[in-house]
């Protein structure tokens, strides 16, 4: 074959391959539209099954308006990268909705109509830099009935709950009417008479917030059944309930109902024990919900509270002195809150008063997930010690931490069994057929305290007269609203948990830094120890000086001072060496990674290619 003919064949082959490539691209675009292969470690780009069901069953169109300021965010690369991930999620939701979700991506310019509409929706622009520019980074959603829902600003630190937050907005618009929440309590949450002032006490702030966000149906403790149609049930201090109401609560949960339950070993606001009030010594201010708790796999002792030395709150001193830490009151911060649950993620501090603790018991089909846990400097305290004029000092006497953490709040989920497997208790005539076990998953959030709902542990009043308002100083109210927001959602929405973060830290580098920090701390301790020793010797020399009025150092003092200065220089040099060694280890690790990425991978691919070519030529030679 002539060289010309070979060239012609080569060009024709190239053109044929190009045409084939274009044809396959067009074909794949038409037939594989929306297809994805998620190879990330934690399947970060795969929607949760609950999200897919939620968007796949929408009955009316929903408009999503994604606002992001491209130009103003130029100086914030991490935020721009997060915005890309948000947009990809929204595009995926729109693709899976069958046309029900209509996504509009908007880059609002300053003083434009888009800028004004973002403000009208209720989004928040966050200022960046010193130039006065602000970044819009939020989501507004509308439905066909003028319903609105927004995410004011996508916070990068809440990325694990991005899918849940967006799904919640869609679910909120898909369900047009407000959620119905039942409230069953034996505490004066809805207001009461104040015998000391002769007037009426206002409702607790948390009860007022519930009434603002939900349709609240109050249930009397003397009732015999749970109203139909509740999206969630709030039970606070269930005490002295009738067998019929106990059974109704059991069947509500077995039937797939969702409950926020607060029990207490020592409720500060329980005035039902004695006519004289809750504060009198010896009154029983405990509550529980047996036999349901046992059937749900929750152990709770109404005769035990606990103290936590590390998280005890400061309370006023009766003698007028400085505030003191009271073991009966505790404030738990982010390190004690479940970071992977939407109820507690992002909260600051939740305060409790004489709380109890929950223990997980093995029950098939039931999952026990702690939401709030104590520190390790905690130990149980019998409730009787709190009822007879206990003081902070007396509670500290004989208190020995066990080194274990205690669960104050937990989420219980699964297919709940009935606490009455043989049927309703004697004397109770049910209005519906008995359910021995749930056929659909239920959710119960149990809190071993009721005082956390009271105003004294999380809000303070400010202002006067008509200008008076309450200012939260803890996240107790947010905890309750987050729990009900989650519990009143659909089963699909409740099942969406926080997913793994897109952030992939350099764990090897972090370990190197941690090891170096340990060495630095040890060296610094040695330095401080030598400094204290030297100062003590100098003080001893000064004490034994003959001429105490002289400001001139004795030879011994001069020698000790010179020795210490030399030691200080040596240790500082060692500190610099540790730092320099850390930098060298990190730089070495970076060099290795660069070599792998830049040289090793291409070399490996080249070797694989050469081996394939060599094997092919060898097969051809064998055939020849």
More reliable by pLDDT, 84 or 197 = 84
d(CA 305, CA 232) in angstroms, rounded, equals 28
Residues 190-195 have a mean pLDDT of: 66
Q: Using the Cα atoms of residue 554, residue 555, residue 558 and residue 564 in order, give the sign of their dihedral.
A: negative
Choose the weakest-confidence range: 21-30, 51-60, 296-305, 365-374: 21-30
Predicted confidence at residue 370, as pLDDT, reads: 97
- Using alpha carbons, list the distances in angstroms from residue 510 to 335, 506, 582, 586: 20, 6, 11, 10
Give the residue-averaged pLDDT of 469-488. 88
- Residues of the chain with pLDDT > 70, as a percent, come to 72
Q: What is the DSSP string of 236-280?
A: ES--S--HHHHHHHHHHHHTT-EEEEE-BSS-TT--SS-TT-TTS
| Cα 221 to the center of its chain, rounded Å | 33
Q: Is 188 helix (H, G, I), strand (E, B) or coil?
A: coil
pLDDT band at 278 (very low <50, low <70, confident <90, very high): very low
Domain regions of the chain by residue span: 49-173, 179-494, 508-542+557-623
Crossing angle of helices 77-96/49-56, nearest 10°? 60
What tokens were used for 620?
Answer: 């051809």
Reading the block at residue 597, the tokens are: 């990425």
pLDDT in tens, 561-598: 677 667 666 766 766 665 566 566 666 666 776 676 67
Per-residue pLDDT, 393: 82
Which residues lie below 8 Å from residue 405, measured CB to CB, with a gap of 6+?
A: 373, 374, 375, 376, 378
Residue 536: C-alpha distances to residues 110, 532, 556, 567 (Å): 66, 6, 13, 16
pLDDT at 320 over 80: no
CA atoms lying within 13 Å on the CB side of residue 578: 18
DSSP 80: H
pLDDT at position 587, please?
Answer: 67
pLDDT at 76 over 80: yes
The token duo for 196 is 């000391």
Distance in angstroms (rounded) separating the CA atoms of residues 419 and 465 = 50
Task: Give the pLDDT score at 621.
Answer: 77
pLDDT bin (cut points 50, 70, 90) of residue 529 is low
What is the pLDDT at residue 4? 52
pLDDT, tens digit, for every residue of 166-188? 988 898 888 768 889 999 999 99
Whether 279 has a pLDDT exceeding 70, the answer reads no
Give the pLDDT of residue 302. 95
Distance (Å, rounded) from C-alpha 75 to C-alpha 29? 35
Q: Which of 13-17, 397-401, 420-424 has the lowest mean pLDDT?
A: 13-17
Going by the DSSP 8-state scheme, the letter that residue 520 receives in this structure is H
2 has pLDDT over 70:
no
Mean pLDDT of the chain: 81
CATH of domain 49-173: 3.40.30.10
Q: Is a pLDDT exceeding 70 seen at residue 338?
A: yes
User: How far is residue 589 from each of residues 406, 520, 599, measured CA to CA in Å?
Assistant: 41, 21, 15
Which stretch, 75-84, 265-274, 290-299, 465-474, has highest mean pLDDT?
A: 290-299
Say whether pLDDT at 499 is over 60.
no
pLDDT for the residue numbered 436: 93
Q: What is the DSSP letter of 287?
A: B
| Mean predicted confidence (pLDDT) in 432-438 | 92
End-to-end Cα distance, the chain: 19
Length of the chain: 624
Task: Please report which confidence band the pLDDT of residue 111 belongs to, taking 50, 70 and 90 as the band edges.
Answer: confident
Which is more confident, 468 or 450?
450
Residue 280: predicted pLDDT: 42
Is the pLDDT at 553 greater than 80? The verdict is no
Provide the pLDDT for residue 434: 94
Residue 462 pLDDT exceeds 50: yes
Q: Is residue 424 scored above 90 in pLDDT?
A: yes
What average pLDDT does this structure show over 87-99? 91
What is the structure's pLDDT at 39? 54
pTM of the model: 0.65
Q: Confidence class of residue 49 from pLDDT cuts 50, 70 and 90?
A: confident
DSSP state for residue 354 in the 8-state scheme: S
Residue 137: beta bridge partners? 68
Structure-token pair, residue 490: 């659909």
Determine the distance from the C-alpha atom of residue 245 to the mean position of all C-alpha atoms in its chain, rounded to a whole number.
33
Q: With a cut of 60, say whether residue 530 has pLDDT above it.
A: yes
- Among 566, 580, 582, which Cα is nearest to 527's? 566
Mean pLDDT, residues 604-619 taken together: 79
């Amino acid at each position: 074959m002539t060289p010309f003919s070979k060239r012609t064949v080569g060009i024709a082959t190239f053109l044929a391959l190009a045409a084939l490539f274009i044809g396959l691209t067009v074909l794949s675009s038409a037939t594989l539209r929306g297809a994805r292969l998620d190879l990330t470690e934690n399947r970060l780009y795969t929607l949760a099954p609950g999200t897919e069901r939620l968007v796949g069953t929408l009955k009316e169109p929903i408009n999503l308006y994604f606002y992001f300021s491209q130009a103003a965010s130029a100086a914030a690369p991490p935020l721009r990268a997060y915005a890309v991930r948000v947009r990809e999620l929204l595009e995926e939701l729109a693709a899976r909705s069958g046309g029900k979700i209509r996504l509009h991506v908007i880059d609002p310019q300053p003083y434009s109509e888009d800028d004004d509409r973002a403000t009208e929706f209720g989004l928040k622009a966050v200022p960046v830099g010193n130039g006065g520019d602000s970044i819009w980074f939020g989501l507004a959603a509308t439905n066909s009935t003028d319903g609105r829902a927004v995410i004011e600003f996508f916070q990068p630190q809440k990325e694990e709950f991005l899918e849940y937050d967006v799904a919640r907005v869609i679910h909120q618009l898909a369900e047009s009417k407000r959620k119905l929440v039942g409230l069953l309590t034996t505490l004066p949450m809805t207001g009461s008479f104040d015998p000391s002032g002769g007037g009426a006490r206002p409702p607790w702030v948390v009860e007022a917030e519930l009434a603002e966000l939900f349709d609240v149906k109050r249930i009397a403790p003397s009732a015999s059944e749970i109203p139909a149609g509740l999206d969630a049930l709030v039970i606070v201090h269930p005490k002295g309930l009738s067998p019929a109401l106990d059974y109704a609560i059991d069947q509500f949960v077995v039937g797939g109902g969702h409950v926020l339950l607060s029990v207490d070993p020592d409720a500060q606001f329980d005035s039902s024990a004695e006519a004289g009030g809750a504060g009198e010594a010896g009154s029983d201010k405990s509550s529980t919900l047996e036999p349901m708790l046992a059937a749900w796999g929750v152990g709770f002792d109404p005769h035990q509270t606990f103290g936590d030395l590390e998280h005890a709150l400061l309370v006023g001193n009766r003698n007028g002195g400085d505030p003191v830490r009271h073991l009966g009151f505790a404030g738990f911060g982010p390190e004690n809150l479940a970071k992977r649950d939407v109820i507690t993620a992002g909260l600051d501090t939740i305060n409790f008063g004489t709380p109890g603790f929950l223990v997980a018991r093995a029950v098939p089909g039931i999952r026990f997930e702690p939401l709030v846990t104590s520190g390790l400097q905690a130990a149980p305290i019998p409730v009787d010690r709190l009822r007879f004029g206990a003081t902070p000092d007396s509670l500290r006497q004989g208190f020995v931490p066990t080194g274990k953490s205690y669960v104050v709040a937990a989420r219980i989920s699964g297919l709940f069994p009935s606490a009455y497997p043989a049927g309703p208790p004697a004397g109770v005539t049910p209005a519906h057929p008995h359910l021995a076990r749930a056929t659909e998953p239920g959710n119960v959030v149990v809190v071993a305290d009721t005082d956390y709902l009271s105003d004294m542990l999380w809000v303070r009043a400010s202002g006067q007269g008509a200008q008076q308002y309450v200012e939260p100083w803890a996240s107790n109210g947010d905890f309750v609203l987050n729990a009900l927001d989650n519990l009143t959602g659909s089963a699909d929405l409740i099942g969406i948990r926080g997913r793994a973060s897109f952030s992939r830290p350099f764990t090897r580098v972090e370990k190197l830094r941690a090891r170096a920090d340990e060495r630095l701390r040890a060296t610094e301790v040695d330095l401080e120890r030598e400094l204290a020793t030297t100062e003590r010797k100098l003080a001893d020399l000064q004490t034994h000086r003959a001429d105490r009025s002289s400001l001139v150092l004795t030879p011994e003092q001069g020698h000790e001072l010179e020795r210490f200065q030399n030691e200080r220089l040596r240790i500082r040099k060692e500190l610099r060496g540790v730092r320099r060694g850390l930098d060298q280890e990190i730089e070495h690790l970076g060099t290795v990674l660069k070599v792998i990425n830049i040289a090793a991978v291409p070399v490996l691919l080249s070797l694989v290619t050469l081996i394939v070519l060599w094997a092919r030529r060898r097969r051809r030679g064998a055939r020849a």
